Amino acid sequence: MTTLVCADNFQVRFDDLFHAGRCLSFPCDAQGLVDIDALSERARENYLYARAMMGREYAAPVVHGLAFVA
């Protein structure tokens, strides 16, 4: 079994500080850069909200690689 993480399979994740297991996540590159223009309007609003509310409602973002088992 081989686990692969491709360069275009990353997500930046903002964990909710008050509700365990809840988060907002968005597609990004390996450095955590999100292509805001590629997001839907609702996703863009949620992304900007999560960034603005870091430390108040959401934790600092963490980049996660999406692994595929081949």
At residue 63 the predicted structure's pLDDT band, cuts being 50, 70 and 90, is very high
Q: How far apart are the first and last CA of the chain?
A: 6
Average pLDDT of the segment spanning 41-46: 97
Residue 27 confidence (pLDDT) above 90 = yes
Residue in 62, 59, 41 with CA at minimum distance from that of residue 50 = 59
SS3 labels along 11-68: EEEEEECCCCCCEEEEEECCCCCCCHHHCCHHHHHHHHHHHHCECCCECCCEEEEEEE
pLDDT value for 2: 44
What pTM was computed for the model? 0.81
Q: Distance (Å, rounded) from C-alpha 4 to C-alpha 35?
A: 23
